[in-house]
Amino acid sequence: MDRPPKVCIVTPVYNGAAYIAETVESVLAQDYESLEYIVVDDGSSDHTLKQLAPYQRRLRLIRQANLGEAAAVNAGVAESDAEFIGIVNADDPLLPGLVRAAVERLRTNPRLQGVYPDWLKIDAQGLVMEAVKARDYDYEVLLAQHFCMIGPGCLFRRSGLAGAPPRDPRFRFTGDFHQWLHMGLIGPFARIPETLATWRYHEGGASQASRNREMAENKIQAVQEILERSVLPEQVAHRSGEALSTAYYEAALLGLQDPQVPARSYMIESFRHAWRWPRDRIPERQRSWRLVLFALGLPLTRPLAALYRLTYPKRFRPPSGSIHYRDWQAGREAIGAAW
């Protein structure tokens, strides 16, 4: 019988003592024999290493100075020759059966660059807050609507990286989104219609997702970097204006909270790249004209924008499976505290 393809799970961790043991246990419990597990400690100053000590014979631990998540991910992936790779956050335990289900899908369809499951949103204690059904993969939606349907539990092919490291350090807040945009030009991803991963919402995670100017710039630059490539598929090239328009719009929304983000100029750029968006967009990915007016009227409208977010939380809430959901949660809490 053929030996199953090697899978490597990489977990970057920085001061993750509270949750790292639970995540390690969930990875080591996967029912897949050819599994390599690499944990990269990014200069933790808490008790992370103490929590990892009981598992050191069952995983590979890499220690480095604090260089950031992208550097930690890249270091872990570079140490493995596995065909399939997964990046699992230190506070997001896997559910049983993920690796086996992902490998089966990837082996069945060699065109797939990666697969991702449905997942559970859990709280700091691990209690389920929401069951999230991920959206089926569509590269045009990913790029043009800035909607990242690929969430926790994704496994991808090493070959889809085309020799590059998975995370570009330039995109500190959108590294995973940029990776999926990059790999999606090579081939499609696919959703596994099973709940096999988790994403933990807690205060530490929310603070890491703070809204600021660098995050806004990352949203724009990640899309620009993809569109500036010399050869783009026709279906991608013809939506480039919409993609840039959406990126500027999303960046502008961050400025409704953070005065360091040039929301007004970003919103003007959004309209310059695409005055109208197609009607076939996901409903929650259409422009909110109230928020457009708030952005264009800054700084005078900043109190109104904050009040709008608190009064109509569901209207502005991004879908739970999107890349913006964590940011939205953190933003609401910050505004609530300020008011």
- Domain residues of the chain, as ranges? 7-206, 222-338
Give Cβ neighbours of residue 212 (< 8 Å, ≥ 6 apart): 254, 258, 260, 261
Q: Environment class of residue 311 by beta-carbon count within 10 Å: exposed (0-12), middle (13-18) or buried (19+)?
A: exposed
- The residue written with tokens 């598992």 in the block is 55
CB 119 within 8 A of CB 199: yes
- Helix (H) / strand (E) element for 248: namely helix 240-254
- Mean pLDDT for the stretch of residues 277-290: 92
Helix residue spans in 255-339 (DSSP H): 263-273, 289-296, 302-311, 313-316, 325-338
299 — pLDDT class (breaks 50, 70, 90): confident
- The residue written with tokens 């499609």 in the block is 188
CB 77 within 8 A of CB 166: yes
C-alpha 70/C-alpha 12 separation (Å) is: 9
C-alpha 131/C-alpha 144 separation (Å) is: 26
- Mean pLDDT for the stretch of residues 68-92: 97
- Mean pLDDT for the stretch of residues 141-156: 96
Structural tokens at position 310: 């608190």
Residue 295: φ, ψ to 5°: -65, -45
How distant, in Å, are the alpha carbons of 59, 73, 130, 131, 333 from that of 127?
27, 27, 9, 11, 20
Strands 7-13 and 35-42: parallel
Q: Give yes or no for residue 333 having a pLDDT over 50.
A: no
Asked which of 45-54, 129-138, 211-220, 303-312 is least confident by mean pLDDT, the reply is 303-312
How many C-beta neighbours within 10 Å does residue 2 have? 4
Per-residue model confidence (pLDDT) at position 230: 66
Structural tokens at position 278: 């197609």
- Mean pLDDT for the stretch of residues 227-248: 90
| Domain 7-206 CATH assignment equals 3.90.550.10 | yes
Nearest to 244 by CA among 267, 215, 212, 261: 267
325 — pLDDT class (breaks 50, 70, 90): low
Per-residue model confidence (pLDDT) at position 258: 87
Side chain identity, residue 234: E
Q: Give yes or no for residue 75 having a pLDDT over 90.
A: yes
Of 72 and 310, the structure prediction assigns the larger pLDDT to 72
Of 36 and 205, the structure prediction assigns the larger pLDDT to 36
- Mean pLDDT for the stretch of residues 228-257: 90
Give the pLDDT confidence of 209-224 residue by residue, as tens digits.
456 899 999 999 999 9
Of 160 and 329, the structure prediction assigns the larger pLDDT to 160
DSSP label of 230? S
C-alpha 28/C-alpha 209 separation (Å) is: 28
Helix, strand, or coil here: 121? strand
Per-residue model confidence (pLDDT) at position 336: 44
Give Cβ neighbours of residue 279 (< 8 Å, ≥ 6 apart): none
- Helix/strand/coil percent split, the chain, to 5: 45, 15, 40
Per-residue model confidence (pLDDT) at position 337: 40
